[in-house]
Every structure is written in structure tokens, then in C-alpha cells.
Amino acid sequence: MSLSVEQLRALPKVALHDHLDGGLRPQTVVDHCLENGHEPPTRDADALADWFFEHADSGSLVNYLTTFDHTVAAMQTREQLVRVAREFVLDQAADGVVLAEARWAPEQHLQRGLTMAEAIEAVRDGLAEGMTQAAEKGTPVIAHQIVTSMRHGEPTLDVAELAVRYRNDSVCGFDIAGAEKGFPPSRMAAAFDYLKRQNAYFTIHAGEAFGLPSIWEAVQVCGAHRLGHGVRIVEDISVDESGGDVLGPLADYIRNQRIPLEVCPSSNLQTGIADSIAEHPVELLKRLKFRVTISCDNRLQSRTTLSREFALCSEAFGWSVDDVRWLTINAAKSAFLPFDQRLRLIDEVIKPGFAAAGAS
């Protein structure tokens, strides 16, 4: 029997790939857009939630990304960023998430006079407020931010340098995001070289809208510690005459090196990776013991939660509580968090939480 959203909400979970500008509450989008003189598609919050889902559900990453015009427009002042970050934490905590990394691009939030540093500090403060309020409610959660450069922009070191400057002040890593096709990771090689010299952590969106060349560059040219999505690595997996799985050299390397894949099933359907959850390659990757993790990507656009993502996969693939436990520990091991804190989270929060649910 498949696991329900309610059952899964009671289990501790880890969200590694969740965009801050893809998880706003619809009413927050309305309130902030109107404050900033930006007319949202509708002023009715429920209808707006439907609009985001319907317009993201196009099968095209390029079309999917246009929905962010409205969420980014709602995140342009210090007060707005604080509220969005606070609500991000509270919504994650309400879903049973115990560790969340919020990624976002500071360069997109300067329209009303903020500097990138001020924007990062606003998100820091909002995350801190959310963690305090969640703890007071009895649902403690750890939340950090991953700062992102947009891959289609002019390559600079600006955001990478801020990632290092604030790495002990709520920033846990760096990323590049945006349209993948035509904008390979190597365009940002200077930023990744800088981060490596600074012993900083980074993930790279690769293998979502483009295939093996993007993944190869992210890993072998840039040195990604994790892969955002990464599911097109299945293009390097074939079946032999006896029906066995054969890993190509890149897939074999990624599995051997335990490079985490930040898989976001519902979002992947919306951007055309598969036609249904049942056809999604996540089950193959899990069966072959890749370092698979599960995330939401954009909770607003996909109208989802992490509990729902696991429920959909449980229904499609028969995942049990033990499977969810394995995937959750994968995510905790892969978090941009100091080793002792990861270990403590696994031993003192995640394992006891699953033990209470009967997981081995």
C-alpha cells in the first residue's frame, strides 16, 4: 500500500533543491506585487495558485521559467525578502522538513535599491525568524541559503564572492540556474575555480533541459559537489542483451563518486523529462544505487510539497517508509552542512523519527 501525504508529513525530511522564488504563498505574491506596482495575473490568491501551476505545466523549461517574472517582482525590498524567507521556513517545517536549503539569485532582487549584500542579509534574517517561530511551534528546522548566478548573464565573480563572504552567516553554497540549453556550466568556470580555491561548496543545475554534455561539464570541468536534477544521466545507461543495466563511463563515474542527484519529480514532468511519475527515471537511478535525493524545485509552480513528492513516488513505485528513510539520509549526507551537524541531524532527528514510524 502506498504512503499518504499525511503519513509522510509526520516523517523528517530534507529539502536540498527548493527555490525561494518558486515557493511563495500566493497571497504573498499578490500583496508584494501590488506594493511594487506590478500587476499579478490575478489578485485572487486561489486563482493565482492555479495560474502558476497551469502556466508552468507546459512541458518546456523556457516557458516554465517565465512564471518567475511575477514571483521575482514580489521580492524587491528588504521587508519582502524577510517575509518570503520566513514563510519559506514555516511552510517547510509544517511539512515535516528538518533541513532546508533555499536557493535564489540575489542579482534579480535589486529593482528597488537593495544591494546584493543587503538582499542576502534580508534573506538571512527572514530564515532566522522562521527558524525561531518554527521551534516555538515544536517543529524545529535548520534553514540556510544557496546564492545563485543566472547562467545566461554575463559571467562574473560577484555572487561567488558573496557566497564566500557570507558562508558562515547563513549562506551554505553557490549555484547557477536558468535556461540550461545554450548556456553551459563552463561559461561560469571562473566562478567555480574561485570557489574551489576558497574551499566553498556548490551545486550546478545540469541534466534537466540538456543532457550528458551539460552533466559532464558540471562535474569534470567545474567540479560540482551536487547536480541540480541530473536525471538525464540515464542517457548514459543502456540495457544489454540479457536485460541487464550497463552504465556508460559518465554514469559510472557519478555513481562511483557518490555525486548527489537533486531529483525533483513533479517539476521534471512540467519541463518534459517524462510524461508521468511512473515513467520518471528516478526509480531506475534509485535501484542502481545512485546518490538520489528528492526535492520539490518550485512548490508554487508545481503545486506540491516534499511529502507530496514522496507520496507520488510511493504510489508509482511502491516506495516504503524504508525507501523514504534511505533517500532522506542520502539528502542529509549531501547537505552543505558541517559533518558533525549532518551526523547529529541523522542520528538524533532523522533515524529516531523514522524508527518511530517503524522503519528499519
Positions annotated as catalytic residues are: 208
Distance between CA 349 and CA 319 in Å, rounded? 21
Q: Burial, 351: exposed, middle or buried (Cβ in 10 Å; 0-12, 13-18, 19+)?
A: middle
Distance between CA 271 and CA 63 in Å, rounded? 9
Q: Coil, strand, or helix at residue 76? A: coil
- C-alpha cell, 255: 555513481
Q: Coil, strand, or helix at residue 192? A: helix
Reported in sequence order, the residue ranges of 242-351 that DSSP labels E, i.e. its strands, are 245-247, 261-263, 292-294
Radius of gyration in angstroms for the set of CA atoms belonging to the chain, rounded to a whole number = 19
- The amino acid at residue 95 is D
Beta strand pairing call for 142-150 and 97-104: parallel
202: DSSP letter: B
Distance between CA 111 and CA 109 in Å, rounded? 6
Dihedral sign (CA 157, 158, 161, 162): negative
CB 169 within 8 A of CB 155: no
**DSSP letters of 109-160?**
S-TTS--HHHHHHHHHHHHHHHHHHHHHTT---EEEEEEEEETTS---SHHH
